[in-house]
Amino acid sequence: MELEGIVFDKDGTLYDFNATWGAWTLSMLREETGGDPATVEALAEILGYDTARRRFRKDSIVVAHTIAEVADTILPLLPHARRGDLIARMDARAARAPQVEATDLVPFLTNLRDRGLRLGVATNDSEGPARAHLAASKVEDLFDLVVGADSGHGHKPGPGQLLAFCDATRLDPARVAMVGDSTHDMMAGRAAGMTCIAVLTGLASEADLAPHADLVLPNIAQLPGLLHTAG
C-alpha cells in the first residue's frame, strides 16, 4: 500500500473509545443531573450507555455524532440547561478527560512522519478538545492539520474535513488513507476518494466495518508494517 498521507479519526482510533470515555461519561451525567439516579439512567438510555458496565453500546449516538448533536439529544431531559452553556461545559470537560492511547502515539506517529507521510486528524469532536488531547499526548505538532466538527469543514460522514486535509497538504486524495473506527469514517473516506482502513478500537465490529473498508485492522499499531511510502 503506497501512500503519501494518512488522516486519522480521534476517538476509537488514536484513542481506545470505551477505555477513554466509559467512566468519564458516568461522571459527566452525574454532574449534569445533580446526581439524580433516574435522570442519569434516562440520559444513559438515550446515549446508548450502560451505567453498570460503564461502556457504550455500538449503536450509541456518541460514536459518530458531534458534541452539538449529542447536546441536542439530551437537552430535553435537562430543563434548566441552556444549549450553548451545555455545549461549552461538555467541551470543557471533554478537553480534560484522560485519554487511553490505542498504541504509544509518540513513536508510532514519529515513525510515520520519518517515512515522509503527511498526517491529519478529522474528528466529529470539537477542535479545541481534540487539540487538548493531542497536546496531552505530546503529538499535536506531528499533524499537518487537525479539524473538528466546528472547524468549518463540516463533519463526517461528509468528506469536507478530509478534502480540507488534501487542500492543506496538496495531496491527491487517491494517495491518502482515512483510518477510523466507524462506518461514518469509512463513508467519509470513500466520498473523498481515499483508501479506507478500519480499526477495532471503537465500538463497531469487523462485520460492521468490513463492507465499507478496504482493510480492517485490530488497531493502528499494525498500520506501519503494511505501508510503502511514495518517493
Digit-coded pLDDT (tens) for 167-198: 999 999 999 999 999 999 999 999 999 999 99
How far lies 144's CA from each of 166, 169, 212, in Å?
10, 7, 26
The separation between the first and the last C-alpha atoms of the chain, rounded to the nearest angstrom, is: 13
Identify the CA nearest to 155 among candidates 90, 65, 94, 83.
65
Report CA 101 to chain centroid distance, whole Å. 12
42: left (phi over 0), alpha (psi -120 to 50) or beta: alpha
Residue whose grid cell is 520519518: 114
Q: Domain 2-16+100-229: give its CATH superfamily.
A: HAD superfamily/HAD-like (3.40.50.1000)
| SS3 call for 176 | strand
What is d(CA 220, CA 180) in angstroms, rounded to the nearest whole number?
9
Digit-coded pLDDT (tens) for 28-68: 999 999 999 999 999 999 999 999 999 999 889 888 788 89
